[in-house]
Every structure is written in C-alpha cells, then in structure tokens.
Amino acid sequence: MTALKTTPLNAIHREMGARMVDFGGWDMPLHYGSQLEEHHAVRRDCGMFDVAHMSVVDLHGARTRDFLRTLLANDVAKLKTIGRALYSCMLNEAGGVIDDLIVYFVAESHFRLVINAGTTDKDLTWLRRHAPAFGIEVHHRTDLGILGVQGPQARAKVIALLSPDLMQAAAALAPFSAAWSGDHFVGRTGYTGEDGFELIVLAGELESFWRKLFTAGVRPCGLGARDTLRLEAGMNLYGQDMDESTTPLETGLAWTVVLDASRDFFGKNALLNAPPMRHALGLILSDKGVMRGHQVVMTVHGDGEITSGGFGPTLERSIALARVPLAVAPGDRVSVEVRGKNLRAQVVKPPFVRNGKILVNIQ
C-alpha cells in the first residue's frame, strides 16, 4: 500500500485533533471537530486552511508572457501591473481543461503559477513539453508551501504578523494582487467567497505562521468547510465540476476565456468550432434532502447532471452546481433524483454567497 503524502503541517493537524482523510493521495484534515463551525467562522470572522499540497511553479524567461498567452485560455496581456493576478484554465488541443490555476505577474521575465495538487504531474509535463520553444525555465518550487487565511477579519490578522517591509504593501493590495519580500509572498486571493490572503512561504516556516495565526484567534479549518464554502461561492472543483472531458464554456467559466483574434492558444479552435450544448447553473433544493454529485437533473429541455452538491450552511439549504441543457435558465424549476425520489429544485445563477451575503432569492 502506497503511503499518503503529507504537508509540513501534518503533525500540527494531529496535535490539534483533526480528523484526517485520504485526499487524492494526501493525508489531509477533514475537520477539527465541527465542519459547520469552521464554515461559519470563515463567513463571520476568520479561518485558515493548509493548502500546502498545492504546487507553486515559477516560470522564467524573456518570452514568458508569450508562452502563457499560448498556454492559457485567459489572456495574460491583461496583467499590465507587477503584482496583478489572473485566474485561467489551461486547455488541451480539444478544449478540455487540463487544470485551472492562478498566474501572478512577478516581473516581465518571471510569472508564478499556483496549480492543483492532483494535476501537478500532468501540468508540469505539459508546461515542460512546450517551454523549450519559448526558452522558458520551469521551476517547481517544492521548497514553498501555501496557507489560505479567509474571512472578514483575515487580512487584519495576517497583516499584523508580517514583517514591516511587507506589512504596508499587503495592506494596500487590491483583490487579485500580490506583494512579496524575499520568500514571503502574499496574494489577496482565495477559494471561499470571502476576502483574505493566500500566503506562500518557505515550507519550514509554515508551522510558525500557523501557530501565530492560531494564537491570534484564527480558527483551523479542514477540507469539509473548504468544500461547502467554495460551493456556496459557486467555485469549480477540478475533477468534479470540470476536467479534460469538459470545456470552460460548459462549466461556468466562459468569462475566463478570451477568444479575440490577437492570439492563438491551445484549445481555441476547438472552442470556436464546437459550441457547448450544456452550461453550468446553480440549484437550490426546495424539498427536504441533500443533492450530491452525479445525480440526474430533469428539465423540460432534457436531463442534466449535478457536478457538485451538498448542504450550504449559510443558506441552510441543499445547493448544487449542475451541468444542464442550454435552454435551462435561472428561475426555472427542475427535479433532481435523490435516493429514488424526484425532488423539486430552483435554478439560480451562482454564486449563492459572497462576502458573507446571500446573493440568490430563495423561493
């Protein structure tokens, strides 16, 4: 039996009584006693997540921007100011999603990617396959780790712990921007629908930051709360809401695709020549029950499928993301097959919750 991979925070999770689970081959905390309380802590105050299983990749070279304009469906030409960040999908030739990632503009010859843990090997293979044509050095930063600190009080809690030379820059960051000093990198990004930071530091410093944040009143949060938070925020999970068999146009990510004539990128022709037959919308369950992935969504326009579903603690309802026929629209009523019963659900446009506020009208 293959041993699970661990992050530098594995011991501290066990010390704090976390329930540990196998997450894609990683030994990760599911919760620290109450997934529900952890969810509410992030919506109302502040929580922190170990995301050190995710990978940081630095790209170096004079043509790094050209390289990324070819590899990404979103256009890094938008990144005009050092420190700005961009969310994008990286596609194969058929338009399928190899991965979704964040790219940071560090310097004209240096861009930083944060990629998913489960796709790291294939991402690196893809990057390294195409890098030589642009003279790009691909550096997988295994010496670094990531902490996510999210919630209304997250920025204040983190800023108080930063070095003086980074504190002021971090306080001034706009959303989807980053600042850094040496090996301390602070991005105003996240995966919960709340404000906050993602900290990239040397792996050996993760425990120190974690303990300081805990002492400052930041609640440790596990994968369970991370999933309910991102679901309420309408954020896709790779491997569940999208993968190489789906395109961004059918997973609610058309807004991340730039199809203008200024460039070609892998998958562009496929997107142009094969318009989607389905799109992604949100569901709120009207009857009692809980929606889960792969359940059938029945509509007057044909069947769809739930890609992510569960209980939304902020809404106190079961919610889901679903891939449905294009004719289905917000405001429609559909049925979902839950444990052999057809339950009623309301179609809405995600997100369900952002910055602590419910954004959908529950009927």
For the stretch 131-176, pLDDT in tens is 999 999 999 999 999 999 999 999 999 999 999 999 999 999 999 9
CA separation for the pair 289, 294 (Å, rounded): 15
Evaluate whether 195 touches 355 at the Cβ level (below 8 Å): yes
Model confidence, pTM: 0.97
- Given the structure tokens 């997450």, which residue do they identify? 23
Q: pLDDT digit string (tens) for 251-283? A: 999 999 999 999 999 999 999 998 899 999 999
Q: Give me the residue spans of the domains in the chain.
A: 10-53+143-232, 278-358
pLDDT at 1: 64
Q: Tokens standing for 279?
A: 């799109």
DSSP-derived secondary structure for 164-195 = HHHHHHHHTPPTTBEEEETTEEEES--SSSS-
Architecture of domain 278-358: Beta Barrel (2.40)
In this prediction, residue 222 carries a pLDDT of: 98
Closest CA to 141 of 108, 107, 115: 115
Give residue 363's pLDDT band: very low, low, confident or very high (50, 70, 90).
confident
pLDDT of the residue at 140? 98
CATH match of 10-53+143-232 with 3.30.1360.120: yes
| Average confidence (pLDDT) over 53-69 | 98
pLDDT (tens digit per residue) in 177-211: 999 999 999 999 999 999 999 999 999 999 999 99
Q: What is the mean pLDDT of residues 29-42?
A: 98
